[in-house]
Structure 1
Amino acid sequence: MTAPVRRASVFAFICTLALAVPLGGPWVGAAIAVVVILGALAITDGPIFDLLAYPSDYEDGRLYGLITFVLAAVALGLIAITTSMSVSIFVGTVFLVGYGNLAEQAARRRTGNDVALVAVFCLVAAIAGIAGQAISISVTDGAGAVESVIPTLPTMAFLAASGALLAALLRDVLFSRDDPIVMLSVGLLCWLLAELEPTHGALGIVAALAVTIALGYISYALETASIAGMLTGILLGLLTIVLGGYGWFVVLISFFAIGGLSSKFRYEQKETIGVAEDNNGARGSGNVLGNAAVAIVAVLGYAASSATLVPGDPNPTLFLFAFAGSVSTAMSDTLSSEIGSVFETPRLITTLEPVEPGTDGGVTWQGELAGIVGAAVVAGISYALFPEVTAVGAAIIVAAGIIGMTVDSLLGATLEGSVLGNQGVNFLATLSGAIVSALLVLSFAVLG
């Protein structure tokens, strides 16, 4: 057994001690955490130190990796016992991180394939997350354990799968010693999702996972997404299906599919003139989130309004149009830049002066036309799938996409590079498209 596997085994055992909270109460869990932290502070060398230390711990002579890990678990436990977060989510999250890490470290002894390692982590982490939740509920409910656990299994599976995907994504973009950040992030996400009261059955959750994983892997195999981009897309797709529906997912995936393929359009020519996406066109998590963060917030808002968590009496249709407006913007802007960049000399949108290809804020008429077509595609899909989207609604979505694309170009010409990065520009552009779409719907509703 290698050192990373031995260390991961001990950390997984420590994670199992989270069951002390449902078994003995928060004070018992706190006492165990104090003992572990004091022991970690006292051990500065020797075989036990070697067993538990991350490579960076040797520089400090302290088991800071273990200490911060336990402190993160304590913080999550405090949230669970002082807020509406259930103790089962706390235990499930701790199990998820600990046993997922152990499985990945063990798998590294047999393979170095990154996709295989991510798959092992997600599978075992999700199973551990479900087990942690189920055991915690069983301990709490005693005699009625089976009756309490079985009806909630679909929800537990959804929370565990979402948490496993987020954990895998964060572990891919952070450092190995950042599991405390991973644990807190996963716990907070699962808490939020539980509050939204997802109602899909077991078959629906399995189908959603199958669809999103299959399409996510295809995007990776086609080199339109990196591993981080694939994980982000799968997570966003899963949340969209479960909290919104398949219609919402089709709108979102249309952007991922068409936008991803557009990055391959005349890729060699783009490389020659210096405007091609890095990594052979594969989009990472930053690019995916920059274009889809507003859309997923709209999905969460829709779910929250349906679960009566939003103050007042919000109209869920507004969130639908905000979602479609943001995706329309993302599609429009992506096609505009990916297709327009290979044509004649672009002109700066603010002055119309000729600029070099790849200049932020540079536009071509071919790119603008491609952007309009992209917005129309999203509007057409929305019109076909949602009864709420009438012909006027489809026109609103097209307008929102064009306005958002224009905002992206204006920000690129004025603020990108000095104040904003590319992902920040994408986020603000999609936000503007979402706001314009919602405001236009409100205006027409008032006028009507």
Structure 2
Amino acid sequence: MTTAVRRAVAFALVGCLALVGPWVLGVQEPAVATVAAIGPFLLVAALALTAGPENTLFELFARPADRRNGSLYGLAVFSLAAAALATLTVGFGMPTSVYVGTILLLVFGNLGGQVVRAYKYEQVRATAGFVFAGFLAASAGQFLAVQLTTESVSAPLAAFLAASGSLFAALLQQLLYQRDDALVMVAVAMMLWLFSTLPLEISVTRITVALAVTIILGYTSYTLETASLPGMLTGVLLGLLTIVLGDYAWFAMLIAFFGIGGLSSKFRFDRKLDRGIAQENEGARGTGNVLANSLVALVAVLAGAVSTEYDVSQAVFFYAFAGAVGAALADTLSSEIGGLYDNPRLVTTLEVVEPGTDGAVTWQGELIGLLGAALVASIGWFAFDEVATLGAGVIVFAGVIGMTVDSFLGATLEGRFLGNQGVNFLATVAAAIVGAGLAGMLNLPL
């Protein structure tokens, strides 16, 4: 057993202390349960801060940074973060299933990742090991919490929380340092707490399809190298949330952007390199690029999931979502395909400029961008009878507006006040506003 695996096993055993609070709560008064939930983690934190390099505890739990500092700060911070989550559970209403599931997700996910890494050191495989082990541990943790308390969580909802939490944790681990596990744990718990409050009715079929699709999407992105590892995790997480919180048709629109947009980045890549317009990382899109183009769509999905609770038509958020995705695909195709043609013109003055100039467009790029927006609209038109011709036209119009806003911002603000990702984000915001506004004005149904 390697040092890293042994350390992960030790952390997993500490994480199991999360079960003490729910177990005591089932047989004792709430005050006693509060002490039982928080106390063990505070005790571990105290022991960690007092353990010196010569201590057996130090040798078992020390990470490389701890060895350099001569103190078990990693274990102490982890335990204090777990105690904070216990406090939120006993004092502020965080579901016990979320609390237990999150802690077990992280510690056993790390163990799974370390086991895979010890067998074959490859980051993608290790991340897959983390997600798989984290999913199983989070599912088991929620089940145990339900058995020990009076809470209830349906199996499909538990699977959704476990899957989304595992993917989100894996993504954060790619973006943060390893010693930031406490931050990852708290962030995942907050997200799952939010999801647990949504009025979701998840069927077994829906979550089964969602999990199967996320696996296929992740594997395809990996084999085609259309996204970096963080970008792949971001796309897979967004896909899962869209299927569960939105609908299959919403996901079909999103996957059209991911699939076609990713392949367009690879299209004639050598020529793009020669012209200086190729995407970084050999065309593989990272988290920033994925989020810049998809964050608005995700917000629309979340808002649509709770729209009925606030007596707001879901159609408004559907057209915001479709408009944003249509703009993202239109802009991607316009730049990736249109940039291959000569004599691009600056959108503000129409003067001929060098290929790759921010805000430069070609008529071929504008045409392929229009077709991209029309593709997203056609998916909505086929999937929903209520969308009809007028609704499809709204989606196309919103997508083209977003693409045009992207070009104008590129010509005027990019490089001085905004980066490329900021421009992409604002373009999708504009498209979502146009789509939602027209849907409200025209009283479009869904």
Please give the TM-score of this superposition, normalised by the length of structure 2. Answer: 0.94
Structure 1 unaligned residues grouped into runs of 5+: none
Alpha-carbon shift at residue 9 of structure 1 (Å)? 1.2
Amino acid at match of 2:228: S
Question: Percent identity of the aligned residues?
Answer: 52
Aligned to 1:33: 41
2:38–2:87 CA contact under 8 A, matched in 1: no
CA displacement 1:97-139 (0-9 Å, x = unmatched): 0011011112211111333222211111001001111111101
Whole-Å separation in 1 of the counterparts to 2:184 and 2:77: 12
Counterpart code for 2:160? F
Which residue does 1:86 correspond to in 2? 95
- 1:234 is aligned to 2:236: yes
Partner of residue 104, structure 1: 113
Greater Cα shift, 293-302 or 278-287: 278-287
Structure 1 residues 290-329: aligned runs within 5 Å = 290-306=292-308, 308=309, 310=310, 313-329=311-327
Q: Which moved more, 1:70-79 or 1:379-388?
A: 70-79
Give ranges in structure 2 of 5+ residues lacking alignment. 25-32
Q: How does 1:67-216 map to 2 (within 5 A)?
A: 67-141=76-150, 152-216=154-218
Q: What is the one-letter code of the residue matched to 2:69?
A: D
Verify the 8 A CA contact 1:97 1:167 in the aligned structure 2: yes
> Structure 1's 133 and 379: CA in aligned 2 closer, same or farther, altered over 3 A?
same
- Which range moves more in the overlay, 233-242 or 38-47? 38-47
Match of 1:13 in 2: 13
SS state at 1:107 partner:
helix
Question: How far apart, CA to CA, are the structure 1 residues paired with 2:146 and 2:125?
Answer: 32
Q: Give the Å deviation of 1:273.
A: 1.1
Say which of 385, 390, 393 aligns to 2:391: 393
Runs of 4+ that moved beyond 4 A: none
Q: How does 1:430-445 map to 2 (within 5 A)?
A: 430-445=428-443
- The equivalent of 2:418 in structure 1 is 420
For residues 274 and 373 of structure 1, the distance between their equivalents in structure 2, rounded to whole angstroms, comes to 25
Looking at structure 1, the residues matched to 295 and 123 of structure 2 have their Cα atoms a distance apart, in angstroms, of: 25
Say whether the 8 Å CA contact 2:169–2:185 is kept in structure 1. yes
Given the alignment, which residue of 257, 260, 267 partners 1:258? Answer: 260
RMSD: 1.7
- So what's the TM-score if we normalise by structure 1? 0.93
The alpha-carbon distance between structure 1 residues 441 and 201, as it changes in their structure 2 partners (threshold 3 A), is closer
Task: Please tell me the residue identity of whatever aligns with 2:133.
Answer: V
Count of matched residue pairs: 435
1:271 to 262, 273, 279: 273
Would you say the 8 A contact 1:88–1:133 is kept in 2?
yes
CA deviations 1:171-205 (Å, max 9, x no partner) are 12222111112111211121122112332233331
Quick check: 231-240 or 355-364, which moved more?
355-364
* Deviation for aligned residue 1:160: 0.3
Give a deviation string over 1:283-316, Cα, whole Å, max 9, x none: 122211111111111111111123x1x4xx2111
Deviation at 1:280, TM superposition (A): 2.0
Distance 1:360 1:237 in 2: 30
Report the residue type matching 2:46 in the other structure: L
Shift of 1:408: 1.1
Please name the residue that 2:29 is paired with: none
Tell me the distance in 1 between the aligned counterparts of 2:335 and 2:134. Answer: 39
Partner of 1:354: 352
CA distance in 2, matches of 1:423, 1:82: 40
Q: Which letter does structure 2 place at the counterpart of 1:318?
A: V
Q: Separation in 1 of the partners of 2:346 and 2:63?
A: 51
Gap change, CA 1:215 and 1:138, over 3 Å in 2: same
Amino acid at match of 2:386: E
